[in-house]
A and B are shown apart, each in its own frame.
Chain A
């Protein structure tokens, strides 16, 4: 989906731009393309409610034609975070912090992201686990207090957050993979929780099947979601595919965030999912961040995707 898919008229878009100060806002409430009414609601919620940010796929070290300056666009994204009128409670990073798991790449990411002055909760992407010891560097930096390959959960403002790792031990011909150990941990982690507690699950590769031909899905994702069926509000946040996509299925809202580094093509629209080279003046409209607002008594979280430039 793109900005133009929603039914905003020009006046409303201009109002959004006024509020955002820079770009067109992509607003989704529960995956339903929003009217300005809902944007107003989201803005209001942002002023009162509990908001956190999602950032994804910063790929420090990437320098290919699709974006020779991934460091610069991450800096722009963080500047955008700092400029938010209301400070979010924290940030989640849904993986591919680095391009090649090099210490210098993690250093760059940490230095730039720390400028946001927010706590950051990470999960790894497949690019973060390709050091010679296959994930040791990631776990040393980001794995404190996590289980297994780096999964964990925490509570914030009454919402239960679950960070999952679906980029380890992938099988030939398959998709993303959580594995039995992690799934058993997840089942146990949510057991005994009130079904009225909102749940936010975040992982790198989409937990739902977006496009299996390109590996965009998680082999055992359905089993994970099965453990979350009883909850009234479940929001699943992913990265990996470098574009905004969403879907609502029952009580579960799925959403993927843009990358801050380079765009990837829509499913099946190119020979491969490789980095997509777009005209220089279009690049920043295809990179960005997402803010997520939780409002008490609302079943669905309001998700606002903000490109670096409209």
Chain B
């Protein structure tokens, strides 16, 4: 009886651990882009599908992060951040709508590793 119970407990714990793992995607893939001296760094970033990319404005001047038809940040004053989670593989070109000479690219690869053709 006590043996049965402990076995059941182990199974329950195992299932719970499995569910927990499944609900929490790998955090290691999150990535950052720094905005400084009117440039995006790195200018091109490769990430796996599902990655959240966070841009941080380190300039004294506001900037934006705009990928037409995909995403558009509000204006980012000094030290402000913007995050976007990429769920579809592809090549996402973006720019600052205030200073359009500032451009960057996020390349999103399928989680299995293959790169989808540019959108």
Contacts and interface: CB of A to CB of B under 8 A. Distances in A.
Interface of A: 64-66, 99-101, 126-127, 130, 132, 170-175, 212-215, 271-275
A60 to B, nearest CB: 13
Interface residues of B, number: 22
B31 interface: no
A174 B100 contact: yes
Given A126-B98, A273-B38, A99 B62 contact: yes
A171 B99 CA distance: 9
Interface of B: 37-39, 59-62, 64, 68, 74-75, 77-78, 93-95, 97-101, 103
B100 A175 contact: yes
B37 A172 contact: no
A172 B101 CA distance: 6
5 contacts: A127-B62, A127-B98, A172-B93, A174-B101, A213-B101
A172 B100 contact: yes
B75 A100 contact: yes
Contact of A215 (B39, B62, B78, B100): B100
Contact of B39 (A126, A175, A272): A272
B57 to A, nearest CB: 11
A173 B60 contact: no
A101 B97 CA distance: 15
B75 A215 contact: no
